[in-house]
Amino acid sequence: MKTDSSLKPHLTRAQKQVHHLLEQAEETLTAQTIHQRLQDQAKSVGLATVYRAVRSLQVKGLAQARVLPNGEWAYGLASDDSHYLTCLNCGTSVPVEDCPVHSLEEKLGQSSHFQIFYHTLEFFGLC
């Protein structure tokens, strides 16, 4: 996992709740889905707070986001790089296990002195 566990104690209550939910999820989640699941767990967190929490988790390198074909953003842990084949017609996304750009990420991190938390690679077409 690429995340630094020392960052977790410095999270707000809402950030901890969202991070915990992302840890338990088997798929990426939209902000609306995160909000609904927190409400289902009787945790009072507003939708605007969810958006602020996921953005803050992204900046800390603990969460990542990707845009879905319908324009919504889906969030997950930044522990894994993500690669998808996505159908433009139905919106289905199929994970791709092989990473053809991992070595490029390492080179860019070293040459640019840029702290890279994760990368995404997505191919769009029709299923």
pLDDT digits 0-9 by tens, 20-65:
999 999 888 999 999 999 999 888 899 999 999 999 999 998 999 9
pLDDT confidence of residue 1: 39
- Say if residue 80's pLDDT is above 80: no
Q: Mind listing the pLDDT tens digit for each residue in 96-120?
A: 888 888 888 888 888 887 888 888 8
pLDDT confidence of residue 82: 76
Q: What's the longest Cα–Cα distance across the chain?
A: 47
- Say if residue 2's pLDDT is above 80: no
Q: Where residue 4 falls among pLDDT bands split at 50, 70, 90?
A: very low
Distance CA 77, CA 3 (A): 9
pLDDT confidence of residue 32: 96
| R_g of the chain computed on alpha carbons | 15
Question: What SS3 class is residue 36?
Answer: helix
